[in-house]
Chains A and B, each alone.
Chain A
């Protein structure tokens, strides 16, 4: 009996010791590969994890920083962090303060709530990180960035712009010089930029929701990445993807990014990439395309935008096919640029334009006459912005109607040689169904 009481006393003593130890002490005492469960309640940060550990928060567990530096620093490889609320980082942009600062490879950060911090998760020079199902909310008491969206395109350095004053917001997920990151199922709001990519290659970003930030996705100098099924809504710009190549941007939604100079998707100086099946709706400018070469833009829905497609200069070898342009006040803006270097149909299949004249004598779903999409304002938008008051004017519609029949001299336009009509997709589905039946029969 005495022996039992003695053993119980030892166990209770150890447990009591574990509970009274600080979180950092428990981490320091743990062996590599251990799992540490963090009980409900507020635990003081900052903490540094310098060995492979799995840290799991129980319901209601929070790590709260002191308002200086990072809250959690992951400095070792193979660390997992989940189920926690993490808050209270420093607010110095020049120091890259973050709720979770990661310099170890293959970190897995999932199901955490991150708030009241400058950057949410900062990944620096690592590979194989997984950022899954986190909720990151920026510090709303800090001033949101009011810079014009276009300002600074191409001028940022690899890190966050340190010229900003300290009391500005940081980014939701910030990556610099990383490789093979997986970012999936996160919700990010009220940060400066939602997801920031710089010199980060071969990563996947999928099923995330980013709203009420400046750029949903701020992306540059990063190649070979895949963005799939993300939603970027109510931001100053849905996504700004710049100075990169060989990307896949598929099935994303860029919606309701409005304001004087808001964009759905800015694609600038990007080459050999694929934009497929995205929905770009209710933005000031749906898709802005500038100095991009050899890209394939396929099956995107560009609808209900003030300007559907802004096609800038020096873009060659791009192919647009099966895209749907519907209910945009100005479907295409060329700004007087030479657009002859890009193709508006591939293998005889163009795009769907809601104001295209429908003449399809052979019933193949492709109109028999080319469609000219006129940009009547041209360089006037830049030289005389007040001309925007003529948007949706009946007079402009009259000119468009005339342009469909005969090219107006001096007018800037793109020409789709094989515009689609609504039967195109029905016929394709029927062909596919017949093909399946035929192969099953064989």
Chain B
């Protein structure tokens, strides 16, 4: 870590990596597919929604499944992209952390631009500028977290196939596994005695946190369970803040993990 953080302040190498990553990201096929999907998803939400109120709900579904998956795939793919070139790249006078930070910033910047394609139709349709803007920011945070998952999976794996398998497994775990375990655990008497513990563990999953934030806050779903436990009540009251914190935590932790792994490679 000591070798990781000092390098963060060196701007010139970071800029060089950023430019390089921007060029690479633009020809990344996951990004290209994602751009098309974003455009189609936004248009579909616009066309298929019965009313403007429904658009945000449909966009939420696209974000939950596709944004998280493609951010992860892009991250994993990017981490493995220059695997054959590491010897040459490490010979350059560029701090190792700059590669990680550069990749992350470049890809997230492009995600932020591509996501506009997803949200613009909703905005044009008059689905509530504030609501759409909020959902856009939350989706960008979700993309950041799963980009970090992808980067970590990519740098921890030995080859591209392993990286993709690890990344997709992590995505499936976050998307389905967490909630399936939570649902079955909820049937145990022991768990039912500690609802705050159950809620607390659920809150750590960025996809659950994102879903609940969007459903309960943006869509104003009646919070039937909100007043049942202190933690549940707090969570509903601060869903946006909590999601931001969870997404930031996962992002920083996983980017740091990827950086550590990269440093170990060098050694």
Contacts and interface: CB of A to CB of B under 8 A. Distances in A.
Q: Which of B199, B202, B208, B221 has the most CB of A within 10 A?
A: B221
Contact of B179 (A259, A262, A306, A394): A394
Interface size class of A (residues with CB under 8 A): 20 to 34
Contacts of B183: 376, 387, 390, 393, 395-396, 399
B182 interface: yes
Contact of B211 (A262, A392, A399): A392
Interface stretch (B162-170, B226-234, B250-258): B226-234
Interface string B210-229: 01100100001111111111
A259 B180 CA distance: 28
Q: By DSSP majority rule, is chain B's interface helix, strand, loop, or mixed?
A: helix
A6 interface: no
A385 B224 contact: yes
B179 A260 contact: no
A383 interface: yes
A1 B182 CA distance: 102
B199 A394 contact: no
Contacts of A406: none
B68 to A, nearest CB: 10
B22 interface: no
A330 B259 CA distance: 43
A393 B211 contact: yes
Nearest to B182: A390
Interface in A396-416: 396, 398-399
A327 B53 CA distance: 12
A301 to B, nearest CB: 11
Interface in A280-334: 284, 304, 306, 327, 329
Q: Which of A327, A392, A394 has the most CB of B within 10 A?
A: A394
B41 to A, nearest CB: 16
Contacts of A11: none
Given A258-B220, A395-B175, A387 B180 contact: no
29 contacts: A258-B222, A259-B222, A284-B222, A304-B54, A306-B221, A306-B222, A329-B221, A384-B186, A384-B198, A385-B225, A388-B225, A389-B202, A389-B212, A389-B225, A389-B232, A390-B179, A390-B202, A391-B215, A392-B211, A393-B179, A393-B208, A393-B211, A394-B64, A395-B178, A395-B179, A395-B180, A395-B183, A396-B179, A398-B180
3 smallest CB-CB distances across A and B, nearest first, come from: A395-B179, A388-B225, A284-B222
